[in-house]
Amino acid sequence: MKHVLRHRGPDDEGTYISQTERCGQRTYVGLGHRRLSIIDLSRGARQPMCNEDGRIWVTYNGEIYNYKELRQQLEKAGHVFKTHSDTEVIVHAYEQWQTACVDHFNGMFAFAVWDASEARLFLARDRLGIKPLYYWHSDDMFVFGSELKALLEIAEVPRTLDLQSLSDYLSWQFIPAGRTVFEGVHKLNAGHLLTVSSGAVRRQRYWHVDDQAHKDNGLSEEELQERFHDLLSDSVKKRLMSDVPVGAFLSGGMDSAIIVNLMSRHADRAVEAFSIGFDSKEYRSELECAAVTAKACGANHHAKILSPEGVIAMLPKLIWHMDEPFADHSMVPTYLVSEAARAHVTVALSGDGADENFAGYPRRYFFAQRYRRYLQTPGWMRALWERPLMLAAWAAEPWVSQRGRKRLMKARDVLGRPGLPAIATLDSIAGPGMKKELLHADICRQVDLWPGIEGQRLQDEPGGDLLPRVLRLDVENYLANDILTKVDRMSMAHGLEVRVPMLDHRLVELAAGTDTAYKMRRKTTKYILRKTFADMLPPAVLSRKKQGFGIPVKFWMQKDLAGFAKEILLDASVQRRGLFNPRTIERMVAANTGGQPAYGGLLWAVMMHELWCRQFLA
């Protein structure tokens, strides 16, 4: 298990194996750790780490940014420290506060504490899900790890595909927590803890953004700006804490520009900033704007160009590191920018999290505002035109292009759905209508084709502003299960730690309680962030339209990657697996390469699933 995670911790390793007998029941425990040395590089800080009497042991991935303050508090309470690491703070914090220790931590973490005196295993994942934690259990065994591939080293862990997860993958382009691609294997959700004691496994949520949001802050716009500035500045300062070199990811957008600017104000040397561009005429490169920001901040700018030929060569490696089927193509530039950064630094800061907390996706959030108004019209008025429109969509389908047909199917899926399910269905890569054609008929009969999270189909809450609910969904689902998962796997593939200042829980709680008028004002997204940091940023960055951090996959699937994709998708192995309808795939491939590029993103998702199957299922 440790060996397959060597990339996450190339500097050192450790193992603790023991047995405990309590109330006539014998329990065997084994903790393993691979170390990426960042704070207290001495061998004394290696893991697993124990307290003074060897009763409490911890294995841990992440950083506790307020560990110095907590250490002082714990020393005053009588705890004695032998290292300068943040790991030891977890040990003594558990001694002091038991499982409530998580409430005291400001950081990103996934850890396990073994309490020998209670024969209890305690696991926790940070509030926003920056660090991963997988687990599986039977009646007499509990297994956990930072990545799924570590669990697969245990023969008892099942390899049966979870079919509902396949349906959810086609909705979201990832598999939401707490399911995984395999039946019975779970991802611990963000903001959750789990205890294993006397054969019982208990999971509970310890943090929810709605419970902590400062909803009645009563602050004026100027006071809000000051509060956001101070909090983010402090968050960046905390995340510069390191005994190894620290750099930053720099796109052409506002969020990473703010982070690099604040870093340059706190750091004692020029910031090392890293960017990725594309060798593609059809896709706007971010390098020009990134270079403008780097120059304005006095940062040393490192840029790398990605070509479609390089993508084919690296896909098997990326799929192995991602663990599960994953179709967000931005993992490709994330892998490369992490590789470039690791040549110079061991830690990098990113601007992730601002879009989901401050309404940064224009199309998605504009639609949420307008759809809410539509749902507020009387039901009889909506029925007057919804049914004729639906009938017209059915009638028009045989006569429109493949792209038009795809849009009609999506419109039929969305039309008449309540707010939150409508938003989720609109943004899915395959709606229920498309899934009925794409998936094998036997699978369609066994699963729920509508988008869902945590094993539940989405339910809308009546009345009120729809935008806060969409933002909450994006923080809990898209941010945790896509953005943060991708960044963790692609950076740790190179032994690079990425820290996320925008996701300091204090900042997230303040943002959650801030009125949506400060997030989206008319057509201005992330309004309060723009106003707060306007004097720091170059005008070209402030006025730049939103562009996702991905590759031009629709163009490449039509041209540069078309031959490779066709070879994979039309291979007999796809038909033998019995997951997808081969006729539908043939039609989509023919349309995509024959002048009607309607299915580039969906074909990419199916291709990535097949390539995953070849690696993990054979």
What is the per-residue pLDDT for 231?
Answer: 97
Question: Could you tell me the two tokens for 422?
Answer: 């409508």
Question: Could you tell me the two tokens for 360?
Answer: 């940064």
Q: Which residues pair with 248 in a beta bridge?
A: 273, 349
pTM, whole model, 2 decimals?
0.93
| In a shared domain, residues 537 and 556 | no
Does residue 618 form part of some domain?
yes
Please state the rounded mean pLDDT for residues 8-20: 95
Residue/partner pairs of 431-438 with CB below 8 Å, 24 or more apart: 431/171, 433/409, 434/170, 434/406, 434/409, 434/410, 434/602, 435/167, 435/170, 437/581, 437/584, 438/170, 438/580, 438/581, 438/584, 438/585, 438/602, 438/606
Query: DSSP of 333-369, one letter per residue?
Result: HHHHHHHHHHTT-SEEE--TTHHHHHT--HHHHHHHH
Q: Which residues pair with 452 in a beta bridge?
A: 457
Share of the chain above pLDDT 90, in %: 67
Is-contact 146 61, C-beta < 8 A? yes
The answer on pLDDT for 386 being more than 70 is: no
Does residue 420 form part of some domain?
no
Please state the rounded mean pLDDT for residues 536-557: 77
Of 491, 519, 542, the residue that ends a domain is 542
| In a shared domain, residues 260 and 301 | yes
Rank 197-201, 229-233, 357-361, 552-556 by mean pLDDT and report only the highest: 229-233
Does residue 470 form part of some domain?
no
| In a shared domain, residues 7 and 148 | yes
Does residue 319 form part of some domain?
yes
Going by C-alpha positions, the residue among 325, 343, 371 that lies closest to residue 169 is: 325
| In a shared domain, residues 256 and 335 | yes
Please state the rounded mean pLDDT for residues 103-108: 98
Is-contact 61 131, C-beta < 8 A? yes
| In a shared domain, residues 500 and 556 | no
| In a shared domain, residues 127 and 276 | no
Question: Could you tell me the two tokens for 37?
Answer: 């040395």
Please state the rounded mean pLDDT for residues 77-84: 96
The answer on pLDDT for 398 being more than 60 is: yes
Express each pLDDT in 418-455 by its tens digit: 778 888 888 888 999 899 999 999 999 999 998 888 75
Domain that holds residue 575: 552-618
The answer on pLDDT for 79 being more than 70 is: yes
Question: Could you tell me the two tokens for 137?
Answer: 């259990």
Report the mean per-residue pLDDT for the chain: 90
- In the block, tokens 């390089």 appear at 310
Identify the CATH number of the domain in which residue 129 sits: 3.60.20.10
Q: Which residues contact 322 (CB under 8 A, 6 or more apart)?
A: 331, 485, 486, 489, 612
**Residue 557: pLDDT band with limits 50, 70, 90:** confident
| In a shared domain, residues 263 and 141 | no
Does residue 458 form part of some domain?
no
| In a shared domain, residues 182 and 296 | no
Does residue 414 form part of some domain?
no
What is the per-residue pLDDT for 407?
Answer: 73
What is the per-residue pLDDT for 83?
Answer: 95
Give the three-state DSSP class for 418: coil
More confident residue, 597 or 562: 562
Going by C-alpha positions, the residue among 123, 117, 141 that lies closest to residue 23 is: 117
The answer on pLDDT for 216 being more than 60 is: no
What is the per-residue pLDDT for 219?
Answer: 84
Is-contact 290 305, C-beta < 8 A? no
More confident residue, 130 or 412: 130
**Residue 194: pLDDT band with limits 50, 70, 90:** very high
Number of domains in the chain: 3
Helix, strand and coil percent figures for the chain, each rounded to 5: 50, 15, 35
| In a shared domain, residues 31 and 113 | yes
Share of the chain above pLDDT 70, in %: 91
| In a shared domain, residues 180 and 268 | no
What is the per-residue pLDDT for 14?
Answer: 97
Of 542, 564, 596, the residue that ends a domain is 542
Cα end-to-end distance, the chain, whole Å: 20
3-state SS track over 55-86 = CEEEEEEEEECCHHHHHHHHHHCCCCCCCCCC
Tell me how far apart the alpha carbons of residues 435 and 79 are, in angstroms, rounded to a whole number. Answer: 57
The answer on pLDDT for 541 being more than 80 is: yes
Identify the CATH number of the domain in which residue 335 sits: 3.40.50.620
Does residue 446 form part of some domain?
no
What is the per-residue pLDDT for 217?
Answer: 67
| In a shared domain, residues 503 and 355 | yes
Does residue 387 form part of some domain?
no
Amino acid at 315: L
| In a shared domain, residues 529 and 612 | no
What is the per-residue pLDDT for 370?
Answer: 76
Helical residues (DSSP H) of 220-284, grouped into ranges: 221-239, 254-266
Is-contact 544 289, C-beta < 8 A? yes
The answer on pLDDT for 269 being more than 60 is: yes
Of 492, 522, 542, the residue that ends a domain is 542
